[in-house]
Homo-oligomer: A and B are copies of this chain.
Amino acid sequence: MARFLKNITSKIGQPPGALIYTGHHFEEKIKVTAFGYGEHDLEEKEINSFEEIIACKDQYPNIWINMDGLQDTALIEQICSHFQVHALTIEDILHPEQRPKVEEGEGYIYVVLKMLKYVGQGQMVDAEQVSVILGSNFVLSFQERPGDTFESVRNRLRGGKGRIRRSGADYLMYALMDTIVDHYFLILEKSGDLLEDLEEALLTSSSKSSLHTLYALKREMLAVRRVVWPLREVIYKLEREEYKLIKKSTHIYLRDIYDHVIQVIDTVETIRDMLASMFDLYQSTLSNRMNAIMKVLTIISTIFIPLTFIAGVYGMNFQYMPELEWPYGYPAVWGLMLMIVLGMFVFFKRKGWL
Q: Is the interface of A mostly helix, strand, loop or mixed?
A: helix
A302 to B312, Cβ gap below 8 A?
no
Contact residues on A (Cβ < 8 Å of other chain), bracket: 35 or more
Residues in B whose Cβ lies below 8 Å from that of A33: none
The docked-state distance in angstroms from the alpha carbon of A6 to that of B290 is 37
The contact of A211 among B183, B288, B311, by CB within 8 Å, is B288
Told that A305-B308, A314-B317, A319-B329 touch, could you supply 13 new A-B pairs with CB distance under 8 A? A2-B196, A11-B182, A16-B253, A203-B212, A222-B270, A286-B287, A290-B294, A293-B298, A296-B298, A296-B351, A314-B318, A317-B317, A321-B330
**A300 at the B interface (CB under 8 A):** yes
Would you give 14 A-B contacts (Cβ < 8 Å), ordered by A? A1-B199, A1-B274, A5-B191, A5-B192, A9-B182, A9-B186, A12-B183, A12-B186, A15-B156, A203-B212, A222-B274, A283-B283, A290-B294, A314-B318
The 0/1 profile, CB within 8 Å of B marked 1, for residues 272-295 of chain A is 011001111111111111111111
A313 touches B (CB below 8 Å): yes
Task: Say if the beta carbon of A256 comes within 8 Å of chain B.
Answer: yes
Return A334 CB to nearest CB of chain B, in Å: 8
Please tell me if the beta carbons of B4 and A267 are within 8 angstroms of each other in the complex.
yes
Interface string of A153-180 (1 = CB under 8 A from B): 0001000001110000000000000110
